[in-house]
Amino acid sequence: MAGRAARLVLLAGAAALASGSQGDREPVYRDCVLQCEEQNCSGGALNHFRSRQPIYMSLAGWTCRDDCKYECMWVTVGLYLQEGHKVPQFHGKVSLNAWFWSTVFHTRDTDLTEKMDYFCASTVILHSIYLCCVRTVGLQHPAVVSAFRALLLLMLTVHVSYLSLIRFDYGYNLVANVAIGLVNVVWWLAWCLWNQRRLPHVRKCVVVVLLLQGLSLLELLDFPPLFWVLDAHAIWHISTIPVHVLFFSFLEDDSLYLLKESEDKFKLD
């Protein structure tokens, strides 16, 4: 028992120096998965697993190996808790959007769905910057917006190509999205503060930007799921729902303002 505790401590200390997740690297977890696959994922045992597997899990592509990894994750979690250590992270996250691919990814975690979730999240952030450019610059300088759009598409292409063809680097992806997100936040806030007296409805945009920035800190946290169900990532998803309602209200007010401004200008002409 003491030897196992020492190994867990050493692994915890090495976590910051190695790639992947701490739980995935734990020998107890790896041995458990290997033994489980040998006992349950071939021959008659595999047929038994498939015969008792719920239809919805079969349709989701849940395999015997996935089941072993899931069960062994809880075995390892129990060991960590028994030895007084923090719950380790598994599979690159204790869950680490567009909404569609985010839903697909959280329904069935595979290399493809994970990449689509991450890539769509980057696309959403870049699209927000593009919308900010259209609203703050594009109405007067459409050529600038066109050039900026081309730049953003190039950035997205390079980002996706690197992660797909060279190395899927979680650290790089996080830093890149945080950096792009900060540009997005600063740009929107600067425009809102500059126009708050002339356009009172931009206060809604300020609240949205600050709330999203604050809630995004949940994405950087890593704590055991509450009731083993709600982790930081899940809480982030739930928390952003009312924020998007407020942002829609801002877009509605801003569209009505632009429409009225256009009508007034037409009357003057």
Contacts of residue 92, Cβ cutoff 8 Å, sequence gap at least 6 = 20, 21, 24, 114, 170
State both tokens at 226: 């509450």
Q: What is the pLDDT along the chain (269 residues), one digit of tens a residue?
A: 434 433 333 333 333 333 446 667 778 888 888 999 999 898 888 988 888 887 867 776 778 888 888 888 878 877 877 777 776 666 544 374 455 656 666 666 677 777 887 888 888 888 889 888 888 887 678 788 888 989 999 999 999 999 999 988 888 988 898 898 899 999 999 999 999 888 999 999 999 999 988 887 777 766 777 777 677 777 777 787 888 889 888 988 888 887 777 666 655 55
pLDDT of residue 183: 92
Query: How far apart, in whole angstroms, are the C-alpha atoms of residue 174 and residue 157?
Result: 17
State both tokens at 126: 């870049």
State both tokens at 144: 């600038």
Of 206, 212, 179, nearest in space to 190 by CA: 206
Q: Give the chain's largest Cα–Cα span.
A: 85
Contacts of residue 67, Cβ cutoff 8 Å, sequence gap at least 6 = 40, 49
